[in-house]
């Protein structure tokens, strides 16, 4: 679909520009003075037609026989004198290539329209105040009369609008007048008829190409619209059907019926009925948390295959985020959370590194949400227009975005999960640390959720469901905590640290040793570094290990990958069975760290991790 959307976008730009030109030139045609637009401001419209005694004319048969082969002989008059006009080659129109001979009607002698003769004819046709300036011959093509294919005399006058009179060399015919007014109007004719090659014709190659571009615009728009329709983007309530579903709890006890609109995603549809299934991937089909059992058996998706055995699939186990209401008549909920839908209002939005922002929200109609540190919220991102470079980028962060091309893009509605970076014990607001995901290249969209949220303004609202508590510190434990993360994996770990400090300060638990390993590329990527340095200085139980993978020369701290620094320090922390490990970061970091811990005798139940992807 990306290529279809790209073609549609570029086609709409081309068609849009031409529509604008049609609009502007159309308005001009309606308001212009037509006499001026035709170049007739100084045209003499008085026609002098003289009757001649044709018996005095040379015999036309003799004239025809004494000249080149002709296909017609007609009478004409120039400057009050009669002529025969012999046509040797006749085209469809006068301005097409024709071949004439002009013959004096009295003497039968052929006549050439020379500069002097052309000037006299032009003067007779001209009524302006100007004097003769210059006379020259022009061949096809000529700017003022692009359709004129026969050679002409151009006679120029010195008036206020630079009038030129054109006389056809072969016939002495006045081809037309041109002046600055006509030349200005010709620009609008060129724009209106897309005659960018000055061919003087509507049937030009640009118009034909434009018709193809318009066809592509319509064709790609149709495909895009159908695609959006299939993805449930258009929900016309009056037309939408509904599907009644019988719900059961995991003990097969009836929970009653719910009604979902047909084609609504089961994970999202249940939320409309205040039923939140667990999910840490936001509906991406990767976490395997949103399990339900449905009948009749629905088509098995590849994500279902990854998370269920053949036996479970046969029983009807499916991932709710991968199926739609029209697949289902009965649904058993395997696991349900207490999470609820809330409207959040943004109170603050600030950069804390070149690519990461801290967003603070208040919950509408609720004083405060209580949750365990490490929890996350699932945001409902509406269909919208996004931009590839964040708004209000501070001057010092601009170099980090220089290589990103400025793009605007449309995105569909979706859900995205973000971890809270403060515990509810330390803040009344919901605080998030969100990395603005840039697109790796122009063929894929930037992170839709992060770009949408990070471009919100204070006062804006967004819906979210949660908090979901799936990654949290064990309560009533006295074991040492080792926390390790990188990038925006900071959020849940910072939340855990603040919760531990708050619990200890409130004498609700014994002081625990905490070792915080945090990896970043450069010093400006070390989030909240001052806060953690201060905490490490004031609290002997907190130890901070900032580590840079691409440090500047003046960096005096640890360098390399953060898991390597953990390995170097692990033996100094005593018996590993007395340590709990909390990890949050990208897949590669998690895998390497877990392998390292296991190689050092750490058991699975000592490791909690929050994988973001």
Measured from the CB atom, the residue of 161 and 611 that comes closer to ligand FES is: 611
Measured from the CB atom, the residue of 290 and 526 that comes closer to ligand FES is: 290
> Which range touches ligand FES (CB under 6 A), out of 107-115, 282-290, 401-409, 551-559?
282-290
Binding-site member from 270, 319, 520, 597 for ligand FES (CB under 6 A)? 319
> Which range touches ligand FES (CB under 6 A), out of 277-285, 356-364, 529-537, 559-567?
277-285
321 sits near ligand FES (criterion: CB under 6 A)? yes
Strand partners, 292: 318, 333
Phi and psi, residue 261, nearest 5°: -70, 145
Of the candidates 450, 23, 439, 311, the residue with the CA atom closest to the CA atom of residue 15: 23
CB 514 within 8 A of CB 473: no
Binding-site member from 11, 121, 290, 436 for ligand FES (CB under 6 A)? 290
Q: How far is the CB of 319 from ligand FES (least distance, A)?
A: 5
> Which range touches ligand FES (CB under 6 A), out of 38-46, 285-293, 386-394, 489-497?
285-293
Tokens 């390995």 sit at which residue? 567
Q: How far is the CB of 318 from ligand FES (least distance, A)?
A: 10
167 sits near ligand FES (criterion: CB under 6 A)? no
Binding-site member from 165, 217, 281, 583 for ligand FES (CB under 6 A)? 281
Q: How far is the CB of 269 from ligand FES (least distance, A)?
A: 13
HSE (side-chain half, CA atoms, 13 Å) at 444: 8
Of the candidates 522, 170, 207, 549, the residue with the CA atom closest to the CA atom of residue 355: 522
Burial of 211: CB neighbours in 10 Å, binned 0-12, 13-18, 19+:
exposed
Cα 392–Cα 453–Cα 360 angle in degrees, nearest 5:
90
Cα 236–Cα 239–Cα 242 angle in degrees, nearest 5:
100
Measured from the CB atom, the residue of 281 and 491 that comes closer to ligand FES is: 281
Q: How far is the CB of 291 from ligand FES (least distance, A)?
A: 8
Measured from the CB atom, the residue of 332 and 480 that comes closer to ligand FES is: 332
Calculate the CA 314 to chain-centre distance: 43
Read off the DSSP letter of residue 437: -
Helix, strand, or coil here: 35?
A: helix
> Which range touches ligand FES (CB under 6 A), out of 90-98, 247-255, 278-286, 521-529?
278-286
Count of positions on this chain that bind ligand FES (CB under 6 A): 13
Quote the strand ranges of 268-403, DSSP E. Answer: 291-295, 317-319, 330-333, 340-351, 356-363, 376-381, 384-387
Binding-site member from 288, 551, 557, 586 for ligand FES (CB under 6 A)? 288
270 sits near ligand FES (criterion: CB under 6 A)? no
Binding mask 230-269 for ligand FES (x = CB under 6 A): -------------------------------------x--
Stretch (H or E) spanning 492: helix 490-505
279 sits near ligand FES (criterion: CB under 6 A)? yes
> Which range touches ligand FES (CB under 6 A), out of 93-101, 283-291, 474-482, 605-613?
283-291
285 sits near ligand FES (criterion: CB under 6 A)? yes
CA max distance for the chain: 133
Strand partners, 529: none
> Which range touches ligand FES (CB under 6 A), out of 100-108, 280-288, 397-405, 504-512?
280-288
> Which range touches ligand FES (CB under 6 A), out of 139-147, 281-289, 336-344, 388-396?
281-289
| Residue 446, number of CB atoms within 10 A of its CB | 20
Q: How far is the CB of 370 from ligand FES (least distance, A)?
A: 24
283 sits near ligand FES (criterion: CB under 6 A)? yes
Residue 336, sorted as left (phi over 0), alpha (psi -120 to 50) or beta, turns out to be: beta
276 sits near ligand FES (criterion: CB under 6 A)? no
CA pair distance 313, 38, nearest whole angstrom: 79
HSE (side-chain half, CA atoms, 13 Å) at 532: 19
Binding positions for ligand FES, rule: CB under 6 A: 267, 279, 281, 283-290, 319, 321
């Amino acid at each position: 679909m990306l290529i279809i959307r790209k073609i549609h976008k570029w086609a709409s730009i081309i068609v849009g520009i031409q529509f604008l030109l049609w609009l502007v030139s159309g308005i001009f045609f309606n308001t212009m003075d037509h006499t001026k637009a035709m170049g007739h401001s100084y045209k003499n419209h008085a026609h002098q037609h003289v009757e001649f005694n044709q018996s005095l004319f040379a015999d036309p048969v003799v004239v025809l026989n004494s000249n080149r082969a002709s296909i017609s002989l007609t009478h004409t008059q120039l400057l009050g004198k009669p002529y025969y006009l012999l046509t040797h080659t006749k085209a469809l129109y006068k301005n097409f290539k024709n071949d004439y001979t002009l013959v004096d009607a009295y003497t039968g002698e052929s006549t050439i329209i020379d500069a002097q003769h052309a000037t006299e004819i032009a003067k007779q046709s001209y009524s302006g105040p100007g004097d003769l300036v210059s006379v020259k011959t022009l061949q096809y093509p000529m700017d003022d009369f692009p359709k004129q294919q026969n050679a002409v005399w151009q006679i120029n006058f010195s008036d206020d609008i630079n009038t030129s009179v054109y006389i056809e060399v072969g016939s002495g015919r006045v081809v037309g007048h041109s002046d600055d007014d006509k030349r200005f109007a010709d620009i609008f004719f060129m724009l209106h008829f897309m005659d960018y090659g000055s061919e003087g014709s509507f049937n030009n190659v640009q118009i034909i190409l434009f018709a193809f571009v318009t066809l592509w615009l319509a064709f790609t728009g149709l495909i895009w619209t159908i695609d959006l329709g299939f993805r449930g983007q258009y929900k016309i309530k009056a037309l939408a059907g509904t599907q009644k579903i019988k719900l059961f709890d995991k003990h097969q006890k009836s929970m009653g019926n719910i009604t979902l609109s047909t084609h609504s995603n089961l994970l999202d549809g249940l939320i409309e009925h205040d039923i939140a299934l667990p999910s840490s991937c936001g509906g991406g089909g990767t976490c395997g948390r949103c399990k339900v059992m449905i009948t009749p058996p629905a088509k098995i998706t590849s994500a279902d295959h990854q998370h269920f055995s053949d036996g479970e699939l046969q029983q009807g186990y499916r991932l709710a985020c991968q199926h739609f209401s029209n697949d289902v008549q009965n649904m058993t909920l395997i696991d349900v959370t207490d999470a609820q839908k809330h409207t959040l209002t943004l109170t603050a939005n600030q950069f804390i590194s070149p690519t990461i922002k801290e967003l603070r929200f208040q919950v509408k109609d609720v004083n405060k949400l209580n949750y365990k540190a490490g929890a996350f919220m699932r945001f409902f991102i509406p269909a919208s227009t996004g931009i590839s470079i964040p708004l209000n980028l501070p001057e010092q962060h601009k170099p980090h975005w220089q290589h990103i091309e400025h793009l605007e893009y449309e995105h569909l509605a979706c859900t995205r999960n973000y971890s809270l970076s403060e515990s509810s014990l330390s803040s009344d607001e919901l605080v998030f640390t969100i990395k603005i995901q840039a697109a790796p290249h122009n063929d894929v969209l930037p992170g839709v959720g992060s770009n949408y949220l990070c471009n919100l303004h204070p006062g804006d609202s967004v819906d979210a469901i949660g908090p979901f508590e799936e990654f949290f510190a064990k309560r009533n434990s006295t074991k040492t905590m080792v926390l390790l993360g990188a990038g925006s994996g900071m959020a849940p770990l910072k939340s855990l640290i603040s919760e531990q400090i708050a619990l200890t300060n409130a004498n609700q638990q014994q002081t625990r040793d905490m070792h915080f390993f945090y990896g970043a590329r450069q010093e400006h990527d070390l989030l909240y570094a001052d806060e953690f340095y201060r905490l490490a200085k004031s609290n002997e139980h907190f130890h901070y290990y900032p580590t840079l993978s691409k440090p500047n020369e003046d960096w005096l701290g640890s360098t390399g990958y953060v898991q390597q620094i953990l390995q170097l320090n692990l033996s100094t922390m005593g018996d590993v069975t007395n340590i709990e490990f909390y990890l949050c970061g990208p897949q590669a970091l998690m895998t390497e760290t877990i392998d390292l811990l296991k190689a050092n005798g750490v058991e699975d139940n000592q490791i909690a991790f929050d994988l973001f992807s």
